[in-house]
């Protein structure tokens, strides 16, 4: 579940909701029915499913039980359930790409049906603000997933089609990272104060930090090329055992989407295939690759508590979904002394922290209690948001999480080390 300490004005919340719903449609607008139907691999979902599931959320948790509401199609209750066991049956996740029906136009009609019903519900002001806000935030998460899943799908096409026209990349000079030192101390992390937060960001609690240092800038593509050139994918001593097994089993030689052509690395983007810009933050690296790089660099990944404390003074502006770059960009300016550069936006940054409950965490009652708590095993925390994350969706306490082998998200890293003072 989640919370919103300040009750928003009904009209303001409605405006935000329908602006969010419209943005989802805008992201899907360039897609054909075939684009929106194919599932590239079991952990991803077709765009058509994302469009329907985000609509299912509002229908299931806000509209069901309303006296005058009639479902668009009762079969959708099972078809577009994701993982809510308390709601009932669900279609197998790995078979979402087999849903040639309903067609894309029917899914869009479903969205219109639910949006009309939501307009009527909001006019009555008889709804739970927390559920409405949760549905809005949930849809923002799926906006990012639409893009990351679609990118993986298009990358499998030998034509290397672009989702949108290539953007003009301007050369940016390399930024030299610096180490920023933090003293050991008893600190507080987690969400505090007003505004929305997911339940996994709470409760706010105290953590003891040993003195540490963290890099001012994230690791770049150029940095990672040096790791590759130094045999990074051929040196088992740099890897966790499970990561090395994946290197051998899957033939990893570089991050996802990379290919070497005419002696130069290229990468697939939502704008098509382009030459790697060495000054942009590395992305599509797994936790295992981030860990191996950190060892090679004689450093480590930060814990999520270190990252949160270090990012407190970093500005919340950055390269988010709204910039339409849909790819990490090089830093154009150096940050203020002692401030992290590109902490927010561009790439999610892996931490060394396993995803688990904060002290005092309690799962909410009912089906929405399944939103986060049930996934607190066998995953690692990422922080900061990416170039595909809506700007208003991110905050310093936000905890994303993925399995250690995941690479299709815009995931990168920032180095840390124990204090040398």
pLDDT in tens, 194-250: 889 999 999 999 999 999 999 999 999 999 999 999 999 999 999 999 999 999 999
Listed in order, strand segments (DSSP E) in 170-211 are: 179-182, 185-189, 196-198, 205-209
108 & 229 share domain: no
146 and 187 both lie in a single domain: no
Q: How confident is the model at residue 18 (pLDDT cuts 50, 70, 90)?
A: very high
Residue 125 carries which DSSP code? T
- Residues 147 and 216 both lie in one domain: no
pLDDT digits (tens, 9 = 90+) for 256-314: 999 999 999 999 999 999 999 999 999 999 999 999 999 999 999 999 999 999 999 99
**Total residue count of the chain as it appears in this document:** 421
Residues 6+ apart with CB under 8 A from 384: 307, 311, 343, 344, 345, 346, 347, 348, 349, 394, 398
Is 171 part of a structural domain of the chain?
no
Do 134 and 186 lie in a common domain?
no
The structural domain count of the chain equals 2
Confidence of residue 333 (pLDDT cuts 50, 70, 90): confident
Asked if residue 208 and residue 81 are part of one domain, the reply reads no
pLDDT at residue 90 is higher than 50:
yes
Q: 372 and 347 in contact (C-beta within 8 Å)? A: no
- What phi, psi does 261 have (nearest 5°)? -130, 125
Assign residue 385 a region (left: φ > 0; alpha: ψ between -120 and 50; beta: otherwise).
left
Q: Please check whether residue 172 lies inside any domain of the structure.
A: no
Residue 162 inside a domain? The answer is: no
pLDDT of 1 higher than 80: no
Domain enclosing residue 71, as ranges: 2-155
Same domain, 127 and 227: no
Q: pLDDT band for 5, please (50, 70, 90 cuts).
A: very low
- Asked whether the beta carbons of 220 and 279 are under 8 A apart, the reply is yes
Domain boundary among 155, 170, 197: 155
Domain endpoint, select from 105, 120, 155: 155
Q: Give the pTM.
A: 0.94
273 shares its domain with 143: no
Between the alpha carbon of residue 400 and those of residues 91, 194, 321, 389, the distances in Å are 25, 20, 16, 11
For residues 138 and 252, membership in a common domain is answered with no
Residue 272 and residue 380 in one domain: yes
Q: Are residues 303 and 403 in the same domain?
A: yes
Chain centre distance of CA 183: 30
For 27-125, strand residue ranges (E) read none
């Amino acid at each position: 579940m989640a919370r919103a300490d300040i009750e928003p004005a009904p009209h303001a919340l409605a405006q935000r909701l329908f602006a969010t719903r419209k943005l989802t449609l805008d992201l899907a607008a360039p897609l054909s029915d075939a684009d929106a139907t194919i599932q590239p691999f079991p952990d991803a979902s077709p765009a058509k499913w994302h469009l329907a599931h985000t609509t299912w959320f509002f229908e299931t948790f806000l509209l069901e039980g309303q006296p005058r509401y009639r479902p668009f199609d009762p079969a959708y209750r099972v078809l577009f359930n994701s993982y809510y066991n308390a709601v009932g049956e669900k279609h197998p996740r790995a078979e979402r790409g087999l849903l040639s029906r309903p067609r894309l136009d029917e899914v869009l009609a479903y969205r219109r049906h639910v949006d009309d019903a939501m307009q009527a519900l909001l006019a009555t002001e008889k709804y739970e603000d927390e559920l409405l806000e949760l549905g809005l935030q949930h849809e923002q998460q799926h906006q990012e997933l639409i893009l990351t899943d679609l990118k993986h799908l298009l990358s499998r096409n030998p034509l290397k089609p672009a989702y949108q026209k290539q953007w003009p990349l301007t050369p940016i000079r390399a930024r030299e990272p610096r180490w920023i030192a933090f003293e050991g101390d008893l600190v507080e992390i987690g969400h505090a104060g007003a505004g929305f937060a997911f339940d996994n960001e709470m409760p706010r609690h105290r953590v003891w930090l040993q003195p540490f240092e963290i890099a001012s800038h994230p690791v770049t593509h150029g940095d990672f090329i040096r790791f590759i050139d130094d045999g990074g994918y051929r040196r088992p001593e740099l890897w966790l055992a499970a990561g090395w097994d994946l290197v051998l089993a899957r033939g990893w030689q570089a991050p996802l989407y990379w290919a070497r052509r005419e002696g130069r690395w290229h990468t697939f983007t939502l704008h098509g295939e382009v030459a790697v810009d060495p000054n942009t933050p590395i992305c599509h690296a797994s936790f295992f690759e981030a860990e191996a790089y950190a060892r090679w660099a004689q450093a480590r990944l930060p814990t999520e508590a270190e990252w949160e404390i270090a990012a407190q003074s970093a500005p919340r502006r950055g390269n988010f979904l709204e910039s339409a770059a849909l790819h990490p960009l090089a830093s154009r300016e150096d940050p203020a002394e002692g401030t992290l550069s590109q902490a927010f936006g561009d790439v999610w940054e892996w931490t060394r922290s396993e995803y688990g409950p904060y002290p005092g965490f309690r799962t909410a009652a009912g089906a929405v209690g399944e939103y986060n708590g049930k996934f607190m095993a066998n995953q690692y925390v990422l922080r900061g948001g990416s170039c595909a994350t809506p700007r208003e969706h991110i905050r310093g306490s936000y905890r994303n999480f993925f399995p250690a082998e995941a690479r299709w998200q815009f995931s990168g890293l920032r180095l840390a080390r124990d204090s040398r003072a």
